[in-house]
Amino acid sequence: MPEKYVDVDTLKYMLYDVHNLQNLLSRKRFEDHDKESLDMFIDSVKEFADRELFPFFKEMDENPAYHKDGKVFVHEQVKTMMYKGGEMGLISAPFDYEIGGLQIPLLAQTVAYYILDAANNHLPGYAALTQGAAELIIHFGNEFLNETYVPNMLSGVWGGTMCLTEPQAGSSLSDIITKATPTDEGHYNISGQKIFISGGDNDFTENVVHLVLARIEGAPKGTKGISLFVVPKNRPAEGDALEWNDVTTVADFQKLGQRGYCTTHLGFGDKGDCRGWLVGEPNKGLHYMFLMMNAARIAVGRGASAIASAAYHASLEYANERPQGRKLSADGKKNPDEQQSLIIEHPDVRRMLLMQKSVVEGTMSLVLLAAKYYDLIETAESPEEKEKYQLLLEMIIPIVKTYPSEAGLQSVNNGVQTLGGYGFCADYILQQYLRDIRIFSIYEGTTGIQSQDLLGRKVTMKNGKALELLSQEIMATIQTASGIPALQSHAKIMGDKLKLTQKILGHLMPHAMQGNFERYLADASIFMEYLSLVLMGWTWLDLGISASKGGAYSDEFYESKLHTMKYFFTYELPKTSGLAEILMNDETLTIKSESEPIQ
C-alpha cells in the first residue's frame, strides 16, 4: 500500500485560507468552536483513519460484503466505524447540542469525512447514511420518533439507511409502488421491495433504521403521492427489547467496486407484519427527501474527490520511485549509458499527474465551497442572505455532485496509466480506486439526471437569478485576480468564458421559451461538461488568488498551487471551446421523433 492518501495541509489550507472557516465561526451557532479545537478534531479523525480505515481498504475489496441465508456479512471494521465513529461525534457533528450534536459546521465535517473517504471509501457510508437518516427524523419527525430513534443513531449503536429505489422504477421516483396501509395503532403497514440500498444491513449495529419512501393507499399518482416512513429492521417493544419488524434482506448486489460497502435488496412486509411510522405529513416524502438531497450530493462529490486524492498520491508515489526510460538528447535520441530517469521526469507523466492534482484540489475546493454555502444558509442572518446562498448552492450542486465523479474517474484512470502494466494488476491499489469511483456518476441521480437538473431547473430558476448570482461571484473573483499581475491573463480568460456562457444560453434558451424542452435539454450533459470546466476555472482562479498571498506554508506549497492553476487553464479549460461548438450546433440527432436511426 502507498503511504499517503490525502494531503492534510492542503485540506486545512482550503478550510482556513481559501474558504475562511473563521468567518463562519463568528456565527452564533458555531461560537464554541475555534481553529484550535477544530484542528484537534480533524487531526483525531486523521489518526482514526490511519489506524482503523486505511489499513483495511484492500482486504475489504478482496473479501466483499456478502449475503447468505437472509443475512448480510460485512467486514468487522464496520463495527469500529459505527461505534468509534459515533463516540468521536462523526455522526452527531452537525446537529444541535440539545439533541446530542456538536454544532460543527458542515464545512469542517466535510473535511473530516474527506479524510475518511480517502482512507477507505467502503466504510464512511455506514456512518454518513445513518447521519442522513437521523437528519430526516430530526427535521421532520415527531417527538416520539426523535426520542425513539435519534440517540441510538447518533451514537452509532443503530445504523440508518435511505430507501428510495425500487426494481421497476429506477431513477424514476414517481413510479414508486411500496405500499403503506394505515392502521388504528398509529403506525402503517408497509409492503414492498427496495433495491440498491447502501449499508442496508449488517451484523454489528443493534438495529438498522430505514427511511422509506412509500405510497399511502389512495394517494395521488406520481411524485405528489409519496410519503416518508421510519421502518426499523427491529421495532422497539416492551422495555428496551427489540422485536423483528419483518424487514428481510432478499439479496445483495455484488459490484464492480466499493465491495466492502454492502448494497442490498430489501423486502418489507413479506409476512404482513412490517410497521412504518409516518415522518411529517402524508405525501410530502419526496419533498423532505429532497431537502436533504443537497447535503447528500455534496457528500457524493466529496467521496469522488477523496478517492481521486488517494489515487493521486498512490500514483505520485510510484512516479517518484520508478526509474524507466531516459531523457531525449538534443539529437532526439536516448543514450543507453545514461542513468534511467524516474518516470516523474517524463513530461507526459507530469502532465497526467498535474491533471490528477488539478482535479483533486479543484474539486476539493468546490465541494468545500458548497459546504460553506450550506452553513451560510443554516446560519443566515437575514432572509436575503439565506436566499442568496440557497440559490448559489442550488445552482452549483449538480456540478458539485457530477464533476468530481466524472473528472475524478478520468483522473484515477490517469493514475492507473502512470503505473503502466502494474496499474492493471490487482497487487497495486490503483485498479481498486478505478473500480470504486465508478459508482459516483450513478449515485444520487446519474450524470444525465444532474445535467437535466442543471440546465432544466437551476439555470432557469427564478428567471435566471441563481445563475446571475453565480456570475456575480465569478465576476468578483475576476476583479480581484485582475489586480494581481501574475493572474491577469487568467482573469481575462475567465471573463471570456463567462461571455461564451451567455452566448451558449442565448442559443439554447429560445427552445425552452418555445416549450420545446426536449430540444432544450437534449445536450444537457454537454452543457454540464462545459459549465463544470468554467466553474473549475473560477475555482482555480480563486485558489490562485489565495496562493498569491502566501502564508504559513512553504513557498513550494504555494508555487505548486499556482502551477496547478496554470495547468488547469492551459490543458483543461480550453476544452470549453469544442464543447461550446457542440452546444451551438443546430443538428438534433438525439431526439427520436426528429431523427430516428441508431440500431
Among positions 287-326, residues that touch its own copies (CB under 8 A) are: 316, 322, 324-326
User: Sign of dihedral through CA atoms 315, 302, 475, 380?
Assistant: negative
- Nearer to its own copies among residue 411 and residue 452 (C-beta): 452
Beta carbon of residue 455, minimum distance to its own copies (angstroms, whole number): 11
Beta carbon of residue 443, minimum distance to its own copies (angstroms, whole number): 9
Q: For the segment 566-585, give every residue that binds its own copies (CB under 8 A).
A: 566-567, 570-571, 574-579, 581-582, 585
Residue with the three cell numbers 465491495: 259
Q: For the segment 374-413, give every residue that binds its own copies (CB under 8 A).
A: 409, 413
Provide the 8-state DSSP code for 179. E
If one counts every other C-beta atom within 10 angstroms of the C-beta of residue 408, the result is 30
334 binds its own copies (CB under 8 A): yes
Q: For the segment 357-376, give every residue that binds its own copies (CB under 8 A).
A: 357
Beta carbon of residue 379, minimum distance to its own copies (angstroms, whole number): 34
Binding map of its own copies across residues 165-204, x = CB under 8 A, - = no contact:
x---xxxx-xx-------------------xx--------
Q: Residue 287 contacts by C-beta under 8 Å, 6 or more apart in sequence? A: none
Beta carbon of residue 241, minimum distance to its own copies (angstroms, whole number): 36
Binding map of its own copies across residues 411-430, x = CB under 8 A, - = no contact:
--x--xx--xx-xxxxx---
Of residues 152, 207, 402, 564, which one binds its own copies by CB under 8 A? 564
Count of residues in contact with its own copies, rule CB under 8 A: 109
| Phi, psi (rounded to 5 degrees) for 199 | 60, 30
DSSP-derived 3-state class of residue 66: strand
What the block records as the C-alpha cell of 242 is 427489540
Beta carbon of residue 130, minimum distance to its own copies (angstroms, whole number): 21
- Burial of 334 from C-beta contacts in 10 A (0-12 / 13-18 / 19+): middle
- Nearer to its own copies among residue 21 and residue 521 (C-beta): 521
218 binds its own copies (CB under 8 A): no
- Nearer to its own copies among residue 291 and residue 582 (C-beta): 582
Distances (CA, A) of 63 to 53, 66, 75, 159, 254: 15, 9, 8, 22, 11
Q: For the segment 506-545, give every residue that binds its own copies (CB under 8 A).
A: 512, 515-518, 521-526
For residue 153, give the nearest of 229, 224, 222, 207 by alpha carbon. 207
What the block records as the C-alpha cell of 434 is 478505478
Torsion of CA 144, 149, 152, 154, to 10 degrees: -100
Bridge partners of residue 231, in order along the sequence: 210
Q: Which helix (H) or strand (E) holds 251?
A: strand 247-252
Residue with the three cell numbers 503502466: 420
Q: Which helix (H) or strand (E) holds 412?
A: helix 383-418
Measured in whole angstroms, the distance separating CA 8 from the mean position of its chain's CA atoms is 19
If one counts every other C-beta atom within 10 angstroms of the C-beta of residue 291, the result is 14
Of residues 51, 327, 492, 503, which one binds its own copies by CB under 8 A? 327
Q: For the segment 252-271, give every residue that binds its own copies (CB under 8 A).
A: 253-257
- Nearer to its own copies among residue 140 and residue 196 (C-beta): 196
d(CA 271, CA 14): 52
Of residues 39, 345, 378, 473, which one binds its own copies by CB under 8 A? 345
Is 76 labeled as catalytic in the residue annotation? no
Beta carbon of residue 327, minimum distance to its own copies (angstroms, whole number): 7
d(CA 348, CA 124): 35
551 binds its own copies (CB under 8 A): no
What the block records as the C-alpha cell of 126 is 455506514
- Nearer to its own copies among residue 510 and residue 578 (C-beta): 578
Beta carbon of residue 43, minimum distance to its own copies (angstroms, whole number): 21
Beta carbon of residue 144, minimum distance to its own copies (angstroms, whole number): 32
216 binds its own copies (CB under 8 A): no
DSSP-derived 3-state class of residue 68: strand
Catalytic residue (choose from 317, 444, 473, 518): 444
Q: For the segment 436-495, give every residue that binds its own copies (CB under 8 A).
A: 438-439, 441-442, 446-448, 451-452, 456
Of residues 239, 272, 347, 485, which one binds its own copies by CB under 8 A? 347
List residues with catalytic annotation: 444
